[in-house]
């Protein structure tokens, strides 16, 4: 997913090292169990075995695709093999169009012959064979731009906006220093996000509405196809997540009616320069697709490690990660790593004979990439939900946006008994810290839990929210939703939503550490004297 604090706080680093004057005496962790878990996870770990199987045997897992159906079966088989109770698919409702790319290619035929790397925009319509035409470079950033371009694009291949700036001076692989973690510097990017979140979401809503108008304009113009610059990541990587066109293209009513293709950054930039110079580049391209049910159902994959204490076993501990991915790579870092680490954490607990008092429930969510569909469905069916705005500018928000609340929380049957939800969605980097989401009591407890893990690099507990992701579903209804600070490695530069999100993005030793730490948090949560402390109700 993606370190946070409110602007009024003195700083996350200070909170991570806050004095314990206001805290109750924290229980002493079971160090013998810690050691058994560490020995199993760090010396006999199988996280990479799980990850390799998922990304090599199943591949990319675009929601609604045939591969996503294969991923459901894969996850069910792994949960059953681990001996969990009742592995099952739980419906999250009809998702949208069942779609997969069969073929996508593009090349320049004049003034030079050049083959491009190309990937269809997710849920793009097909071209019905190869098509050829002149490429035109056009900025369509406002309604005024649409007015100026009207009547000029019929039968053209539209280059949608200028080339993106390449981040040539930023390191490809990043690890946090201990000082950055302890002082909160590693969390500052998320802090900056939340300081400006209101204005960002307002802007994104406006942009989403404009993109819908632009899509309608391009369709009315009769463009032959639209090319999108896949650059701005590491050279050789294409960012392919549909965000440039906006909307929800998996829904028939919002799907653009023109073919759309991502091409590699340097090729796109060359075409743009040629078109702007009047060289009239000509392109040939093709998109072939396989389409099925326009209302393909979506699912979460669920199973339990049942609690053994009759009284608290109803207090569920969630171990979650999203199973879906985008389609250009194979979803290794985002979020095959989280799925693999979660499976490995459960395997570790089984291997060491851990006996949880509370139930540990594994949930592999569907549809996270399109808007937290899986975790929202899980919460709505069991825990509760908050009515949200259906105003057009709110519905136009992207995945990270959260639609404005228009009613009070409506609690579900399991709300009071629920304990805590963990979410692992930051690539394969080792865990360096924990975000407790504005929950001081839980932060203080976790400081006691992480004290024996400092030699593994787990150094800080941040009493604030992490990037918006599946854990946000739980925090927004007043329940503990936990995410982790992980070393980024090359998640942001090479992996996140790109064609290079492959097994090579995973770091085996880091992934083993993350699974080990997660196993410790799961069993500690399951065996605590009380359920996880909850944040104070919002005023």
Residue-level pLDDT at 400: 65
User: Which residue, 211, 321, 213, 241, is CA-closest to 499?
Assistant: 241
Please write the tens of the pLDDT for every residue from 409-427.
999 999 999 999 999 999 9
User: Which residue, 486, 480, 477, is CA-closest to 445?
Assistant: 480
Residue 22: pLDDT band with limits 50, 70, 90: very low
The fold for domain 99-290 equals Glucose Oxidase; domain 1 (3.50.30)
Residue 3: pLDDT band with limits 50, 70, 90: very low
Architecture of domain 32-97+295-397+415-527: 3-Layer(aba) Sandwich (3.40)
Q: Do domains 32-97+295-397+415-527 and 99-290 have the same CATH topology?
A: no
111 upstream amide cis, omega within 30 of 0: yes
Least confident stretch, 141-150, 218-227, 402-411, 481-490: 402-411
User: How many CB atoms are located within 10 Å of the residue 30 CB?
Assistant: 16
Q: How far is CA 451 from the centre of its chain?
A: 29
Expressed in angstroms, the distance from the first to the final Cα of the chain is 28
Beta bridge partners, 301, equal 89, 364
452 φ/ψ angles, rounded to the nearest 5 degrees: -75, 0
Please write the tens of the pLDDT for every residue from 486-513.
999 999 889 999 999 999 999 999 999 9
User: Which residue, 88, 394, 125, 433, is CA-closest to 250?
Assistant: 125
Residue 232: pLDDT band with limits 50, 70, 90: confident
Please write the tens of the pLDDT for every residue from 249-296.
999 999 999 999 999 999 999 999 999 999 999 999 999 999 999 999
Cα 228 to Cα 161: distance, rounded to the nearest angstrom: 8
Residue-level pLDDT at 537: 77
Least confident stretch, 80-84, 185-189, 227-231, 467-471: 185-189
Higher-confidence residue of 405 and 171: namely: 405
Cα 511 to Cα 434: distance, rounded to the nearest angstrom: 16
Residue 13: pLDDT band with limits 50, 70, 90: very low
How large is the angle between the packed helices 31-43 and 508-527, nearest 10 degrees?
150
Cα 447 to Cα 159: distance, rounded to the nearest angstrom: 52
Residue-level pLDDT at 19: 36
Q: Strand order of the sheet with strand 431-435? A: 85-96, 296-305, 360-365, 317-322, 420-423, 481-486, 431-435, 460-462
Q: Please give the average per-residue pLDDT across 82-87, as a whole number.
A: 98
Question: String of b and e for 404-413 (b: at least 16 CB within 10 Å)?
Answer: eeeeebeebe
**Is residue 399 scored above 80 in pLDDT?**
no
Please write the tens of the pLDDT for every residue from 299-326.
999 999 999 999 999 999 999 999 999 9
Residue 397: pLDDT band with limits 50, 70, 90: confident
Task: Report long-range pairs for 34-40 (Cβ below 8 Å, ≥24 apart).
Answer: 34/452, 34/453, 34/520, 36/352, 37/348, 37/349, 37/352, 37/354, 37/516, 37/519, 37/520, 37/523, 38/456, 38/516, 40/348, 40/351, 40/352, 40/516
- What is the value of pTM for the model shown? 0.94
- Average pLDDT of every residue of the chain: 92
Cα 506 to Cα 490: distance, rounded to the nearest angstrom: 9
* Residue pointed to by tokens 């001076």: 169
**Is residue 18 scored above 80 in pLDDT?**
no
**Is residue 170 scored above 60 in pLDDT?**
yes
Residue-level pLDDT at 539: 54
Residue-level pLDDT at 5: 27
422 φ/ψ angles, rounded to the nearest 5 degrees: -100, 140
Residue-level pLDDT at 26: 62
Cα 130 to Cα 104: distance, rounded to the nearest angstrom: 10
**Is residue 525 scored above 80 in pLDDT?**
yes
**Which tokens is 244 given?**
């440039």
Least confident stretch, 153-162, 234-243, 326-335, 342-351: 234-243
Helix, strand, coil fractions of the chain, as percent rounded to 5: 35, 20, 45
User: Where along the chain do its domains lie?
Assistant: 32-97+295-397+415-527, 99-290
- What is the share, in percent, of the chain residues with pLDDT greater than 70? 94
**Is residue 16 scored above 80 in pLDDT?**
no
């Amino acid at each position: 997913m993606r370190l946070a604090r409110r602007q009024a706080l003195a700083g996350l680093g200070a909170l991570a090292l806050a004095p314990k004057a206001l805290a109750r005496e924290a229980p002493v962790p079971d160090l013998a169990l810690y050691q058994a878990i560490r020995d199993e996870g760090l010396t006999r770990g199988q996280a990479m075995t799980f990850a390799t199987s998922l990304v090599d045997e199943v591949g990319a897992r675009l929601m609604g695709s045939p591969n996503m159906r294969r991923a459901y079966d894969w996850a069910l088989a792994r949960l059953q093999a681990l001996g969990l109770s009742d592995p099952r698919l739980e419906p999250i409702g009809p998702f949208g169009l069942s779609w997969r790319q069969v073929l996508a290619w593009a090349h320049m035929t004049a003034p030079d012959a050049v083959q491009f790397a190309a990937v269809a925009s997710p849920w793009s319509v097909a071209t019905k064979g190869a098509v050829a035409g002149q490429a035109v470079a056009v900025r369509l950033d406002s309604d005024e731009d649409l007015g100026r371009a009207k009547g000029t694009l019929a039968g053209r291949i539209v280059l949608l906006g200028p080339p993106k700036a390449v981040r040539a001076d930023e390191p490809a692989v990043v690890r946090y220093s201990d000082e950055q973690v302890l002082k909160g510097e590693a969390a500052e990017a998320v802090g900056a996000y939340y300081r400006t979140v209101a204005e960002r979401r307002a802007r994104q809503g406006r942009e989403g509405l404009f993109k819908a108008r632009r899509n309608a304009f391009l369709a009315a113009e009769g463009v032959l196809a639209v090319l999108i610059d896949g650059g701005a990541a590491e050279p050789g990587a294409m960012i392919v997540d549909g965000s440039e066109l906006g909307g929800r293209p998996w829904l028939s009513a919002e799907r653009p009616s023109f073919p759309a293709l991502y091409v590699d950054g340097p090729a796109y930039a060359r075409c743009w320069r040629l078109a702007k110079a009047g060289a009239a580049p000509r392109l040939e391209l093709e998109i072939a697709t396989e389409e099925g049910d326009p209302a393909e159902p979506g699912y979460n994959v669920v199973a339990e490690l049942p609690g053994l204490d009759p009284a608290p076993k109803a207090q569920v501990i969630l171990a979650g990660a999203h199973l879906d991915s985008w389609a250009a790579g194979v979803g290794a870092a985002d979020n095959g790593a989280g799925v693999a680490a979660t499976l490995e954490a459960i395997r570790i607990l089984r291997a060491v004979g851990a006996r949880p008092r509370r139930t540990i429930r594994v949930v592999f969510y569907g549809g996270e990439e399109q808007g937290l569909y899986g975790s929202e469905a899980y919460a709505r069916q069991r825990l509760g939900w908050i009515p949200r705005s259906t105003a057009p500018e709110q519905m136009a928000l992207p995945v990270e946006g959260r639609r404005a609340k228009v009613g009070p929380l409506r609690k579900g049957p399991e709300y009071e008994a629920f304990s805590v939800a963990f979410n692992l969605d930051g690539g394969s980097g080792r865990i360096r810290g924990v975000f407790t989401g504005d929950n001081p009591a839980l932060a203080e407890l976790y400081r006691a839990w992480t004290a024996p893990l400092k030699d593994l690099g787990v150094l800080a507990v941040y009493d604030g929210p992490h990037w918006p992701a599946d854990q946000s579903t739980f925090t927004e209804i007043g329940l503990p939703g936990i995410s982790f600070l992980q070393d980024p490695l090359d998640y942001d530069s090479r992996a996140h939503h790109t064609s290079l999100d492959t097994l090579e993005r995973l770091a085996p030793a880091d992934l083993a550490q993350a699974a080990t730490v997660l196993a410790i948090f799961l069993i500690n949560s399951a065996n605590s004297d009380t359920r996880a402390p909850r944040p104070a109700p919002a005023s």
